[in-house]
């Protein structure tokens, strides 16, 4: 059973999350925090496997607390759960050490998918967040007319995962999709971008700023096939 802590300044939100998580066979809630300062106290006294954090908390926000959490527990995966889906906020959260970012109006089933992903050392972004982030962060050689701007949020997410070395069956598991659906998305991505193989896809993703060179190299060192 994996131990989860919830940090949100709304008691009803925490209660709702706790109820959802208690229905998941692999997870249990072992702690709650009302603000950023309580998060820091919580991670010092409770052994956790995953931390779910809201951004907009007072007096210390989740975003402010995140760097300190990562210094105290570098290996603890943190999943951001927020109402904010703008690229600036998402970028700041990821830069501060968040392993995943889930918007609060996501489907209930997506919470477990996100928890599974970050627990397994992978990054998870809600499809809408991924689309906002990728469309708003073009690389040096991309433009508003770049082919990937015609992809859907889900296709952009799968494109990025493929570039980071995920196999189709891993993507299907992480996103709760069938292998057939993932393969269909992959074929459409390759067709729309005019690519013939995964090596070209990786090159495209790096050139257009969809993934970083360091991310790809890290995935290769961890043994993910690219």
Report pLDDT digits (tens) over 60-110.
788 888 888 888 888 999 999 998 888 778 888 887 888 889 998 888 888
Q: How confident is the model at residue 207 (pLDDT cuts 50, 70, 90)?
A: confident
Which of 189 and 163 is assigned the larger pLDDT? 189
What pLDDT score does 181 carry?
A: 94
The single-letter DSSP state of residue 149 is G
Q: Sign of the C-alpha dihedral, residues 27, 29, 34, 40?
A: negative
The rounded distance, in Å, linking the Cα atoms of 159 and 62 is 29
What pLDDT score does 134 carry?
A: 62
**Are domains 2-126 and 138-221 of this chain identical in fold?**
no
Among 40-49, 69-78, 91-100, 137-146, the range scoring the smallest mean pLDDT is: 137-146
Residues 6+ apart with CB under 8 A from 158: 171, 175, 182, 185, 186, 189
- What CATH class is the domain 138-221? mainly alpha
Alpha helical stretches, state H, the chain = 11-22, 36-45, 62-72, 87-95, 108-119, 127-135, 153-163, 168-175, 179-193, 198-207, 213-221
The CATH homologous superfamily of the domain defined by 2-126: Response regulator (3.40.50.2300)
Neighbours of 200 (CB within 10 A): 13
The tally of CA atoms less than 13 A away on the side-chain side of residue 63 is: 13
Domain extents for the chain?
Answer: 2-126, 138-221
């Amino acid at each position: 059973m994996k131990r989860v802590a919830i940090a949100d300044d709304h008691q009803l939100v925490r209660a709702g999350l706790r109820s959802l998580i208690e229905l998941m066979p692999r997870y249990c809630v072992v702690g709650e925090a009302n603000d950023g300062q309580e998060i820091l106290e919580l991670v010092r006294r409770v052994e956790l496997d995953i931390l779910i954090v809201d951004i907009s908390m007072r007096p210390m926000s989740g975003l402010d607390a995140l760097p300190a959490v990562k210094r105290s527990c570098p290996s603890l995966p943190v999943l951001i759960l927020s109402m904010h889906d703008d690229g600036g906020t998402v970028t700041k959260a990821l830069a501060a050490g968040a392993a995943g970012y889930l918007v609060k109006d996501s489907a209930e089933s997506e919470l477990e998918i996100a928890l599974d992903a970050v627990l397994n050392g992978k990054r998870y972004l809600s499809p809408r967040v991924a689309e906002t982030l990728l469309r708003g962060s073009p690389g040096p050689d991309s433009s508003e007319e770049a082919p990937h701007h015609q992809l859907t949020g889900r296709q952009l997410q799968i494109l990025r995962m493929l570039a980071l070395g995920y196999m189709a069956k891993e993507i299907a598991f992480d996103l709760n999709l069938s292998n057939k659906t993932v393969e269909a998305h992959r074929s459409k991505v390759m067709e729309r971008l005019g690519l013939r193989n995964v090596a070209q896809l990786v090159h495209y993703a790096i050139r257009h700023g969809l993934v970083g060179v360091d991310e790809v190299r890290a995935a290769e060192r961890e043994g993910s096939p690219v």
